[in-house]
Structure 1
């Protein structure tokens, strides 16, 4: 039996994580250093408690999420409860990738990672939308 072509099977959690780490590693200075301090977590879907907290009923609506305190709001007197975290959700990314059909998996994962890291840097969704014309 021959192994399937890498292009004929859905990317694994490990491959999505590898693409996400590559996105962080290729960020320009001054963003790369602080971005490497954020924990990356790749799961198939967002946990139920996250979906409930965001009032989302369809787990395919969320491709990524930043969980933490933006750098612009941090204080040296803060006692961190947990490290800043970027969640990447594989199945919604796969669906979006298949529906779009005009970007590579690496481009889509990079977009999601950079969008979530932008929140870590203190940018709002509106700030990100002004510079990121991804959806046009």
Structure 2
């Protein structure tokens, strides 16, 4: 009888699904400071395998693997009154680029998803990289 080892965990596991990445993002969002989450309001978090062609063209990207996440909408720093029919602010996380980046790094997938999520939320608030790093550090503690 073969002895079980830690490598057997991966033997029958598929790559994380869209729903599993979305669950990681939800968990990461739940660890953010309460005041920060309340300020996010009705922000919507979505996961797709890749950005669509329009996003790639608009950003001048050559490969769909070049983008891990994207904030779409009007950041709070630039927002006036909400217009009728205006879509909610959204954060997109892209599963395949995230998995590719994860495979090349020493970070856990959960840490990577949290990092990208916080970075994209930071765009929503018009924050600096230092501000985003402070929020990420607080979320880890």
TM-score calculated relative to the size of structure 2: 0.80
Q: Residues 75 and 6 of structure 1: is their aligned pair in 2 closer, same or farther, counting only changes over 3 Å?
A: farther
Distance 1:30 1:40, change over 3 A: same
Question: Hey, what does 2:77 align to over in structure 1?
Answer: 72
Structural RMSD (CA): 2.3
Instruction: Give unpaired runs (5+ residues) of structure 2.
Output: 1-7, 137-141
Shift of 1:78: 4.2
CA contact (8 A) 2:44 2:88 kept: yes
Q: How far did 1:19 drift?
A: 0.5
Q: Paired residue for 1:51, among 46, 49, 56?
A: 56
Matches within 5 A, 1:49-128: 49-76=54-81, 78-79=83-84, 81-100=86-105, 102-123=106-127, 127-128=128-129
Highest CA radius of gyration, 1 or 2? Answer: 2
Higher helix residue share: 2
Name structure 1 gaps, 5 residues minimum.
none
Judged with a 3 Å threshold, the aligned counterparts in structure 2 of structure 1 residues 47 and 30 are, in CA distance, closer, same or farther, namely same
Equivalent in the alignment of 2:133: 132
| 2:75 aligned with 1:42 | no
Q: Provide Cα deviations, 1:89-117, integer angstroms capped at 9, x if missing partner.
A: 000000000001x1111000000100000
Q: Which moved more, 1:112-121 or 1:25-34?
A: 25-34
* Aligned 8 A contact 1:45 1:89 in 2: yes
